[in-house]
Structure 1
Amino acid sequence: MQTIKYPAIEHPDDWLKCIAKEFSKSIHNNCLEIPKHLGKGEFRQYYPCEWLTVSYLKISLNEAIEFQRIGMPNRPYIPVVFYLADAKQVVDNKQYQVGMHKPNGIFMPSPDIESKWVIPANESITNLTLAFKKEWLLSQIQDSGAYISQLINNKDSFYVFESITPTLLRTIEKIENEIESNQLCKLSIYSSTIQLFTQFTKQLNNREKLNAKSNITSYDVKKLFEIRQLILDNITDVPLIETLASKVAMSSSKLQKSFKLVFGKSITQYALREKMRMAKDMLSTQSYSVSDVAYKLGYSNVSHFAKAFNKCYQINPGAYLESLACL
């Protein structure tokens, strides 16, 4: 398996230049194409301002490649990596399964942390990374006691994993759509990435407060993600809480309490919110009527669906559909 080594970055374009050198390829308009003998796809970078670098890759490899980050103390940038496909991450000789639907969907290491990331063969891999200057981060955090502020100010090495919640995913998808449609400009990427980073830091700070108050183990978190996936897979007819609890050998009360601690909503609230999000997405295609969407999402009564949609988005689904026709 080929290994590509690169140091923690000192300058915004260091990473892309290092990858280009390893591939013996040239960079054109901040874009690097994968050599055809290795696979297909590309690496892209954007520089909306002097303290922010955005890296995006969408590739499929013929053979697995290991990317090895070499830790470099006192480098000015801290990366926040959003794994949108399943892969393996090795940190401190520990292997983690990372991905959009894994508990470890986001990785943020200090500059001196070494890590390895294996991209498997014959799989489409997408990855989004925001690299921020430490000084800028600290200047934006008003609460010196905030968890992320403590991490950065501390002289010790650190790395943290977080999950990609539906809220984060929607912002990521917005950025992806802008990139794929080539509609990205400095203003839009600045706005979208700041929104994404703000959501991430808020989640990180809240999670630390919750963990301090609870006795949820990493095993529990893994099981809770299995429950979340079960809910999403059966969104039109979500299993009873007792049934879900039995799937992961938890009591119903512990499942409900733990789920809300980790995902910020009760199981019922979470399922309803995701169902309404799906409804809005379907209506946005303008390919379905309100009744079509209601029935596809398991509602036998259209008025019940309309009431739930209106409560979630403060607009009747029929009115929402009409508003799309006016655009």
Structure 2
Amino acid sequence: MLFTFSAGPDFDFMTHFARHIGEKVENGLLNIPDSLGQGYIRKISFGPDFKITLHSYTLKEELVIKRKNGGTGHDLLTVFFYNNEQVLEIAFDDKPQVRFSQRDDSAIQVTSNDLSSTIRFPAHHVVHYVVVAIKPPYLKSLLALQQPKAIFDTITGQGNSFLFFESMTGETKQILKNIAAVNVNEPLGHFSMHIKVQELLYLLFHQLSARESNTHLSINSVDAERLLHIRNEVISDLSVPPILSELSQIAMMSETKLKQLFKQTFGSTIYNYFQQARMEEAAFLLKQGTHSVAEVGYELGFTNLSHFSRLFEKYYGLNPKKYSYLS
């Protein structure tokens, strides 16, 4: 099933999606008909400038959601929280390449409303994600910063095009579960939801505040798609360190631009991003209990197991052997 829409500040996803599947929205809730699957989409508005949409369903066929540039610039920003228990693909053209799964927690996306994107949800998979839509001036008033960092000026300023990815912490995952459990029909349900969504945003912007304060480079859909492709290249083979000159050719960008845009978007240098993914993969394999420390190290391209152990301990506070025993 393909659903295409143009992004705009007054666009209501749930209402238009309901028309697309021939259903009605009642009290902010759209129930998925049995013919398509099961589950729901729920929208909760906290005013004209701030709302949240919860998606929780399993569909019988693949769902492709294409968001087109609505030509409204930076009138609205969206924050997507993709639960890592699902498998989905994201792209900024028609060929989704970035997969989020149980091994990858990079599942929060902050974007201006002028970037086109495609999200592909496979059939027969549990889909659970949250979208927060908020207007920049309202967000700026919420943050209430006396001396905001450059990244906050970019997000809350006028006319900026941006795309940021952040990791999803355990605390964020817990709040998402709490949000899903809120009974909005209770007398204080709406109030509870409002508090939890603001807490969710606080955790995200606390993470973003840790980034270096650099001059923002404007980004478009072509740049965004190339960056996602580069990210995919970086983590496609975790036994081989990335080579910047080769990635630059693939991205059709100068090395300088690629380095700047990658760090701006993902919050890390290309090599550090690779090492982080490498260690996460090592932790994942050690948790399975089917690989020895040596097997994990060699599989990830380490010829010196002492170096592997030191690097792993730097990330996780335990050497691989102790980590595997405690997992």
The question of a shared fold, defined as TM-score above 0.5 by the shorter chain, is answered with: yes
Choose between structure 1 and 2 for higher RCO, CA contacts under 8 A separated by at least 6 residues.
Answer: 2
Counterpart of 2:210 in 1: which secondary structure? helix
Shift in CA distance, 173/213, structure 1 to aligned 2, threshold 3 Å: closer
Q: Which residue of 2 aligns with 1:248?
A: 300
Q: 1:186 aligns with which of 177, 190, 193?
A: 190
Higher helix share: 1
Q: What amino acid does structure 1 have at the position aligned with 2:281?
A: E
Answering whether residue 175 of structure 2 is matched by residue 171 of structure 1, we say yes
Q: Which residue of 1 aligns with 2:253?
A: none
Deviation at 1:100, TM superposition (A): 5.9
Q: 1:155 aligns with which of 149, 153, 159?
A: 159
Shift in CA distance, 214/120, structure 1 to aligned 2, threshold 3 Å: closer
Q: Which residue of 2 aligns with 1:122?
A: 124
Q: What amino acid does structure 2 have at the position aligned with 1:109?
A: T
The 8 Å contact of residues 79 and 131 in structure 1, kept in 2 or not, is answered as: yes
The 8 Å contact of residues 73 and 159 in structure 2, kept in 1 or not, is answered as: no
Q: What is the rounded CA distance, in whole Å, between the counterparts of 2:310 and 2:47 in structure 1?
A: 43
The 8 Å contact of residues 216 and 258 in structure 1, kept in 2 or not, is answered as: no
Matches within 5 A, 1:68-79: 68-72=66-70, 73-74=72-73, 76-79=75-78
Q: Which residue of 1 aligns with 2:226?
A: none
Q: How many residues align?
A: 268
Q: Which residue of 1 aligns with 2:218?
A: none
Q: Which residue of 2 aligns with 1:89?
A: 90
Which deviations, in whole Å up to 9, do the C-alpha atoms of 1:193-247 show, x marking residues without a partner? 111111111112324579688663443333233234346556xxx986x776545
Q: 1:222 aligns with which of 277, 286, 294?
A: 277
Counterpart of 2:161 in 1: which secondary structure? coil
Q: What is the rounded CA distance, in whole Å, between the counterparts of 1:136 and 1:182 in structure 2?
A: 27
Q: What amino acid does structure 1 have at the position aligned with 2:317?
A: I
- Stretches of structure 2 lacking an aligned partner (at least 5 in a row): 215-262
Q: Give the alignment's TM-score, normalised by structure 2.
A: 0.68
Q: What amino acid does structure 1 have at the position aligned with 2:111?
A: P
Which deviations, in whole Å up to 9, do the C-alpha atoms of 1:65-93 show, x marking residues without a partner? 20111122335321111111110111146
Deviation at 1:115, TM superposition (A): 0.4
Deviation at 1:298, TM superposition (A): 6.0
The 8 Å contact of residues 109 and 158 in structure 1, kept in 2 or not, is answered as: yes
The 8 Å contact of residues 16 and 32 in structure 1, kept in 2 or not, is answered as: yes
Q: What is the rounded CA distance, in whole Å, between the counterparts of 2:113 and 2:125 in structure 1?
A: 29
Q: Give the alignment's TM-score, normalised by structure 1.
A: 0.68
Deviation at 1:102, TM superposition (A): 1.6
Q: 1:195 aligns with which of 190, 194, 199?
A: 199
